[in-house]
Amino acid sequence: MVEMIRTATNMYNHGWDERNGGNISMLLDEAEVREYLDMQSICTLETGFAAPELDGRFFLVTGTGKYFMNVQYDPAKNLGIVRLIEDGTKAELLWGYTDGGRFTSEFSAHMMSHVARLVVDPLNRVVMHCHPGNLLAMTYVHDLDERAFTRTLWQMCTECIVVFPDGVNVLPWMLCGTNEIGEATAKKMETARLVVWAQHGIYGAGRDLDETFGLIETAEKAAEIYLKIAHLPLVNTITDEQMHLLEQRFGVKAREGYLQ
């Protein structure tokens, strides 16, 4: 809980989650949950989708319409712990949303992304969505081809290919808060931990809050550098040969076909 509060506050302070923008979900260990909760359902909420793979799993989730800046002051109002039941079509509220609220409107995108990432990495626990300004701006002026988008970010900072060697996937603008964008995001999550929503924001996934925050932070820094230099003549860059050296030095493998 403390980590979630700190992360939400940090995301707000970075300017990634204006007003009630953005959301976080974290898969919880059942043994940890049982230690702190009496496990009595406060109410049952319809999810609007099915996720049988997550049946019986527990999640700590930010609430819909909640401001990240307020999480630190009233966690019980702005966060909730839910348990998915009936093949994920319903969620039992076990703690939180004390003002009668409910989980984020992007709950379907989060849960579908959890399903996709758990297949790739059984230790994945976090899905995070926010609106970093530089990545958002980049989707207006850069080709949205995933290989091209990824290569540009890799070329901006030496650490990028080390931090996200699987690259960045990109979705064109879609209506948010729907099962359709949730399904599309989950499909993209099968091959990368970062999924950009053009003209909207980004989704990140990871094993813990720090890793997921760091993924987005690194990509956002690269986008910031790109926007600072995009209008200038390019004199130097990080070459593919140099990125291959980074692969060898740090024991990572760049996404197949993304380097020469």
- Do both 251 and 148 map to the same domain? yes
Cα separation of 64 and 96, whole Å?
Answer: 12
Q: 15: phi > 0 → left, psi -120 to 50 → alpha, else beta; which?
A: left
Residues 9 and 96 occupy one common structural domain: yes
Residue 106 appears among annotated catalytic residues: yes
Any idea what the Cα angle at residue 140 is, between residues 134 and 146, rounded to 5°? Answer: 85
Per-residue pLDDT tens over the stretch 182-222? 999 999 999 999 999 999 999 999 999 999 999 999 999 99
Last residue of a domain, one of 104, 123, 143: 104
* Co-location of 113 and 76 in the same domain: no
Whether residue 3 is found in the same domain as residue 92: yes
| Token pair for 241 | 């040969």
Tell me: do 134 and 57 sit in the same domain: no
CA-to-CA distance for 22 and 40, rounded, in angstroms?
28
- Can you say whether the dihedral through the CA atoms of 158, 162, 163, 169 is positive or negative? positive
Here the tokens at position 88 are 């994920």
Question: pLDDT tens across 87-140, in order?
Answer: 999 999 999 999 998 888 899 999 999 999 999 999 999 999 999 999 999 999
Full residue range of the structural domain in which residue 63 is found:
1-104
Read off the pLDDT band of 80 (50, 70, 90).
Answer: very high
Counted domains in the chain: 2
Statement to judge: residues 129 and 100 lie in one domain: no
Marked catalytic residue, from 18, 35, 86, 106: 106
185 and 218 within one domain: yes
The larger pLDDT score, comparing residue 24 to residue 31, is at 24
Q: Quick one: 10 and 91 in the same domain?
A: yes
The pLDDT confidence band at residue 32, using thresholds 50, 70 and 90, is: confident
- Same-domain check for residues 50 and 61: yes
Q: Residue 245: which CATH number?
A: 3.40.225.10
Q: Judge if 99 and 113 occupy the same domain.
A: no
Q: What percent of the chain is predicted at pLDDT more than 70? A: 100
Do 90 and 202 have their domain in common? no
